[in-house]
Structure 1
Amino acid sequence: MSRTILDVHILQTVPPSNLNRDDTGAPKSAVYGGVRRSRVSSQAWKRATRKAFDDLLDPAELGVRTKKVVEALTERIARLEPSLHADQVWPMAAELIQTATGAKIETPSRKPGGKDAKDGEAAERQAPQSSYLLFLSARQLDGLAALAIEGIGKGSEPKVFVKDKEVKAQAKQIAATRHSVDISLFGRMVADASDINVDAAAQVAHAISVHAVDMESDYFTAVDDQNSTAEPGAGMIGTIDFNSATLYRYAAVDVDLLTKNLDAGLLDGERTGEPVRRAVEAFIEGFTLSMPSGKANTFGNHTLPNAVIIKLRSSRPVSFVGAFEKPVVQQDTADGHVRAACKALADHIPAVEKAFDATADRTWVLRVGEHTADLAALGAEVDLRPLVTEVGEAVAERLGKRG
């Protein structure tokens, strides 16, 4: 059976930075090809991509991942029925979320000042919270809000209301359908209710450097502005670990699974390629342009990719990280790593596709500068805007042909 798979390959140079820290505060790393590489976790880049969606998609197409899900639902209820107050809403919202997701909902016992609150100080009333992060779409929250208002309007006790078979089924149906773009792409796992889990349509690899890296430390001092000339020395000293790297980034989108996720709960007349096209375009642009924010204020490492290659396939995803199993070595100290990385990729891709009869249906190449010239022969050269548009149209066309 023919599939629709999008592979996204990116080469991106990052100057001294600490995009993604480990538990010691150092940049994450990994051994690949026998040498230490810089690494940025998939979680870090997925988070950055999800945040980029805020500027690319309508809020109605997105979700929220939070423990404060009762608070989020209360905000939705307040928009629909402003006359209701927290005492009326919180118990019903908590019971409905617990029924829909299986998550344990409890009221936290924190004081207004947190750890610094004085003994005997009355605890501030807070909305109940989930025991773990819950990921719900805007449309799912809207559906639960309408159901909560119905229960409150009937004067029902929350625990009695959610025990009704129809209400229970409706709450579960709301949580299991009409998924947002970010849930459809990145998935959702709810430990206590596997029936509302969503398989991720996007797979994102840990970005790794194409070459070996050395970790470095920046020793810094901060001067007290109030010190006089008679008071030399620093008010603070410290170190920040960093590295610099040319990264290979990879992601794959299973468009068929994305379509299934986005179609869940929609009427037949609503099932078109348009929502999928928007999701694909948002992912390509968001993943390409996003950057994890770790230590950004310290290093200002706001680069854009040197090259982006997108392949539309009919079989399975194919990563080309193998091009860099042998670490790239500078041929000329003035030449950097980009030229050698592009040459390695330009040699590796045709060889792999020929050996495994895995030639892509279409290939697009976005590249910057003469250092990336070796990639030009791999596909149609485009800039970012036509790249995003053409890939979206190609996906929509293929879905349309399937009917």
Structure 2
Amino acid sequence: MTIDVANRYLSLHSLTTFAHVLLVRDDAGEPKTSPHGDAERVNLSPQCKRRAGRMYMRDEANLGTGPLASHAWGVRTREWALRVAEALRDEHGWEPQAALEMARTSLRGVGLNFGSTPNTAFLTKVMIFAPEKTGTTLAKIIQEHRVELETWAAAVSAAAVAAAEAKTKGKKKGKDTRVPPTDVAAEFGEDGGPETEGEATGGDEKVAPMPARIKARLICGLAPADAIDIALYGRFLAEVAGAGNVDGAIQTATTFSVEPASIVRDFFSSADDFKITRQRLGTDFTDALARLNAVAPFNTEEPQAPNEYALDDRGAGMTGHQNFFSGTFYAHSVLDRIQLRRNLTNGGMSRENAERAAQDAELALVAAFVNAVPSAKKNTTAAPGTLPKLVLAHSGPRPYNYAAVFEKAIHRHEGVPSLIAAERLLEHHAMITRKHQVEAGAVLSYDIATINYLDALRDAGNLGPTEVDHTAQLSPYCPAGQPA
């Protein structure tokens, strides 16, 4: 199916009210804020929203309930050397240490860099987004070229030793920075050390060129292939030339509050279970009096401390502060339908399969946009259970971002912020559809007051979008009949 240029972009907008949550934090652990229009606003970063959406789609697919249940996925990790080594060990019978060394040396041969500390020696310096079967795929290629790669790896190792010796001779107090094998790595440990994307480069030895045909095959093994989330969100792998960088088909704006930032510094206290138990049982005064009577009343020397540890049963076990925020937030995302199909066909799909996958991906994306909520502090806020008060979806020849509608912050004395925001959003959308001659799209609400407002607009003949009852109906690719 050829996408009409007039409907290339699917623009998604939502208004969601959160109460006392902390969905994302800055480096100091505080809610993220920035100025917009006439007031400071609370922000949810695009990265946080994108990950929530991607993981929602993946979880649904793993349960076999989402549109993408039958599609392949990608994985973002620094542990590809460990995954390749596992496959070499389990599927091809390699010795664990030999598998680890070959996996790391091979990946360095295609251009990837690794950490320089014992805990990061087998972790790439940046996370690599690749198909979930990449470990098995690369291990098979390495096994097929084992003899040639072992000869090449031995030459690499000898060159590294020679370079280290030369450095030592040049500096009497020089330090050999090569990373020795570790017990953690030998056991394929999961301790990845610091969660950073960059390491010092002191531990990287110069790697001799890998045989060209083997390198080309390994690079193909890192290619995005049919991983549906790579086609959606894109991938940039600067370290490996020709590894298949992908321009994402999804644009995500920073989500921000339509009201001025409302942050509450919340005091908390935590109970110590043993202390509470002693408090409930009460103080044993008999024992306390016995101790006092054992001390001579006129003895000027310091009394002997009791044998048992003196416990203080007063107060809470621990206290502290945590910042939370509340408010109605505007979120916006865009899907480039043509780019999505291009990514899928570039990955090797036929046009027919790419079209089917693209339609499934759009349905899954819309469901994630409506339902996915960042999971930070979920156990003490239950934020993932929040549904939007209004969702608007429409197509057009270009993206449409309505953030400017909320340049003037909505204050509570003006009325219910979410209803005022819905009124502004729909009025602005009506103006855009009239002036740009684009379709009005569809609107979905999970809020009674907002639904009543939509009913009033419809009765007055002023509701442009079609009101729907299910997320799939926000897309023109909704399955025939009622969605499951």
User: Scaled by the length of structure 2, what TM-score is found?
Assistant: 0.70
Equivalent residue runs for 1:37-56 within 5 Å: 37-56=41-60
| Superposed displacement of residue 41, structure 1 | 0.5
Aligned position for 2:74: 63
Q: 2:13 aligns with which of 9, 12, 18?
A: 9
Aligned position for 2:399: 317
Q: Distance in 2 between matches of 1:170 and 1:11?
A: 47
**1:138 partnered with 2:129:** no
Query: 2:20 touches 2:326 (CA, 8 Å); kept in 1?
Result: yes
Distance 1:252 1:77, change over 3 A: farther
Q: 1:339 aligns with which of 414, 419, 422?
A: 419
Partner SS, residue 126 of structure 2? coil
Distance 1:270 1:345, change over 3 A: closer
| Superposed displacement of residue 274, structure 1 | 1.0
Aligned position for 1:116: none
**1:380 partnered with 2:374:** no
**1:87 partnered with 2:97:** yes
Query: 2:395 touches 2:438 (CA, 8 Å); kept in 1?
Result: no
Q: Distance in 2 between matches of 1:180 and 1:284?
A: 18
Aligned position for 2:343: 261
Aligned position for 2:83: 72
| Superposed displacement of residue 127, structure 1 | 7.0
Partner SS, residue 274 of structure 2? coil
Query: 1:61 touches 1:181 (CA, 8 Å); kept in 2?
Result: yes
Query: 1:162 touches 1:168 (CA, 8 Å); kept in 2?
Result: no
**1:163 partnered with 2:157:** no
Query: 1:329 touches 1:340 (CA, 8 Å); kept in 2?
Result: no
| Superposed displacement of residue 142, structure 1 | 4.0
Distance 1:389 1:312, change over 3 A: closer
**1:22 partnered with 2:19:** no
Q: Distance in 1 between matches of 2:147 and 2:367?
A: 44
Partner SS, residue 327 of structure 2? strand
Partner SS, residue 140 of structure 2? helix
Distance 1:261 1:28, change over 3 A: same
Q: Which has the larger radius of gyration?
A: 2
Equivalent residue runs for 1:1-400 within 5 Å: 2=5, 4-57=8-61, 58=69, 61-77=72-88, 81=91, 83-100=93-110, 102-106=111-115, 108-110=117-119, 128-152=122-146, 156-157=150-151, 159=153, 163-193=210-240, 195=242, 196-227=244-275, 228-229=278-279, 231-266=313-348, 268=350, 271-301=353-383, 302-313=385-396, 315-330=397-412, 336-355=416-435, 357=436, 359-360=438-439, 363-373=441-451, 374-375=453-454, 377-387=463-473, 390-391=476-477
Aligned position for 1:114: none
Query: 1:221 touches 1:238 (CA, 8 Å); kept in 2?
Result: yes
Query: 2:80 touches 2:135 (CA, 8 Å); kept in 1?
Result: no
Per-residue deviation, residues 104-162 of structure 1 (Å, max 9, x unmatched): 1357414xxxxxxxxxxxxxxx8711111111112544432321221237774353798
Distance 1:268 1:182, change over 3 A: closer
Moved more, 224-233 or 10-19: 224-233
Q: Where does the alignment leave 5 or more consecutive residues of structure 1 unmatched?
A: 111-125, 395-403
Per-residue deviation, residues 360-403 of structure 1 (Å, max 9, x unmatched): 3x612111234224456232222225426644569xxxxxxxxx
Query: 1:7 touches 1:318 (CA, 8 Å); kept in 2?
Result: yes
| Superposed displacement of residue 56, structure 1 | 2.8
Query: 2:92 touches 2:143 (CA, 8 Å); kept in 1?
Result: no
Residue identity opposite 2:390 in structure 1:
A
Query: 2:23 touches 2:375 (CA, 8 Å); kept in 1?
Result: yes
Query: 2:370 touches 2:471 (CA, 8 Å); kept in 1?
Result: no
| Superposed displacement of residue 239, structure 1 | 0.3
Moved more, 154-163 or 140-149: 154-163
Partner SS, residue 352 of structure 1? helix
| Superposed displacement of residue 179, structure 1 | 4.7
| Superposed displacement of residue 308, structure 1 | 1.2
Q: Distance in 1 between matches of 2:322 and 2:129?
A: 34
Q: Distance in 1 between matches of 2:236 and 2:323?
A: 34
Q: Where does the alignment leave 5 or more consecutive residues of structure 2 unmatched?
A: 62-68, 156-207, 284-312
| Superposed displacement of residue 276, structure 1 | 1.1
Per-residue deviation, residues 268-317 of structure 1 (Å, max 9, x unmatched): 4665301111222221112221111122222222311112111122x111
Distance 1:92 1:158, change over 3 A: farther
Q: Distance in 2 between matches of 1:21 and 1:267?
A: 39
Partner SS, residue 261 of structure 1? helix
Distance 1:263 1:97, change over 3 A: farther
Distance 1:206 1:103, change over 3 A: same
Distance 1:198 1:347, change over 3 A: same
Residue identity opposite 2:124 in structure 1:
S
Per-residue deviation, residues 24-75 of structure 1 (Å, max 9, x unmatched): 2121112111201111101111111121122233486211111111112334
Q: Distance in 2 between matches of 1:39 and 1:15?
A: 14
Query: 2:14 touches 2:392 (CA, 8 Å); kept in 1?
Result: yes
Q: Distance in 2 between matches of 1:292 and 1:242?
A: 14
TM-align CA RMSD: 2.8
Q: Distance in 2 between matches of 1:331 and 1:14?
A: 19
Partner SS, residue 354 of structure 2? coil
Residue identity opposite 2:212 in structure 1:
K
Partner SS, residue 42 of structure 2? strand
